Amino acid sequence: QWQTPAYVAVVRGDQTIYLESTTLSQEDAMFNLVSYVVPVYACAPGKAILAFSSADAQEEVLQGPLKRFTPNTFATRQELGDELERIRRQGYAVNRGEHYDNGHIAVAVPIRDQSGAPVAAVCFYAMTEEKSLEAVIPPLLQLGDVVSASLGFTMAVREVVG
């Protein structure tokens, strides 16, 4: 039996708001409302949303201030800019203890609306090994695509209409 804890989060301004947490298993799902806030640049869901946001929204965050919470925080314009480019290329964001280093890894993908704008993110978290991270990336990317498609977004349509 497998279990993967997951979050749904949104970004408002420069903050990521975690809305709901669940532990998915083969048998059931338990939902918990969480409602805590983390700077957008210091967590996987925030970075997943920011990387696909407008240039203006990205620039607002890149201008700072960017606080270094742990040694893993992308806390300079160059570091964060490079990280956002990497996220756009691979389609997902990873957090390896950027806001609080508890030894856990999180990975998130954006949920996009019909215009392609990111409106939320879904995040799998609490992994402690890179092997576990690699295993959840394909199903997480697929989940992001399915939820985004339910909102009217597909890459095929995006390529045609821009």
Digit-coded pLDDT (tens) for 66-109: 999 999 999 999 999 999 999 999 999 999 999 999 999 999 99
Q: Quote the mean pLDDT of the chain.
A: 87
Highest mean pLDDT among 19-33, 35-49, 81-95, 101-115: 81-95
- The set of long-range contacts for 125-130, using a CB threshold of 8 Å and a minimum separation of 24, is 125/5, 125/6, 125/7, 125/44, 125/95, 126/5, 128/103, 128/104, 129/105, 130/105
Contact (Cβ atoms closer than 8 angstroms) between residue 8 and residue 122: yes
Burial level of 77, CB count in 10 A (0-12/13-18/19+)?
middle
pLDDT score recorded for residue 1: 39
Contact (Cβ atoms closer than 8 angstroms) between residue 70 and residue 99: yes
pLDDT score recorded for residue 27: 55
Contact (Cβ atoms closer than 8 angstroms) between residue 73 and residue 40: no
- Both tokens of 68, joined, read 């270094």
| Residues 95, 41: Cα–Cα separation, whole Å | 10
pLDDT score recorded for residue 9: 86
134, pLDDT greater than 80: yes
Query: Considering the entire predicted model, what is its pTM?
Result: 0.86
Pick from 81, 161, 74: which is nearest to 116 by CA?
Answer: 161
29, pLDDT greater than 60: no
pLDDT score recorded for residue 64: 86
pLDDT score recorded for residue 155: 66
pLDDT score recorded for residue 98: 95
Distance in Å from the first CA to the final CA of the chain: 42
pLDDT score recorded for residue 99: 95
30, pLDDT greater than 80: no
Q: Which residue has the tokens 């300079």?
A: 76
Q: What percent of the chain has pLDDT over 90?
A: 60
